[in-house]
Amino acid sequence: MTFLFDRDAAEQSARALFTAVSDRISLLPTGNAPGCTSTGRASAR
């Protein structure tokens, strides 16, 4: 397997992605979306 960057850079990139996703999720409304259960899974229709 060939890596385009070293392990430290990969870890830094993964942490940045996790932080960005976490920040975005924290901005989402806390109420249930239509068609979703309390677990956040889509209900069968």
Question: What is the amino acid identity at position 15?
Answer: R
Give the pLDDT band of residue 5 (cuts 50, 70, 90): confident
DSSP, residue by residue, 1-45: ---SS-HHHHHHHHHHHHHHHHHHHHHS-SSPPTTB-TTSPBPP-
Q: What is the largest CA-CA distance in the chain?
A: 47
pLDDT digits (tens, 9 = 90+) for 19-45: 999 999 999 988 766 666 666 566 665
Q: What is the pLDDT of residue 31?
A: 75
CA–CA distance, 6 with 29 (Å, rounded to integer):
37
3-state secondary structure of 36: strand
Q: What is the pLDDT of residue 30?
A: 84
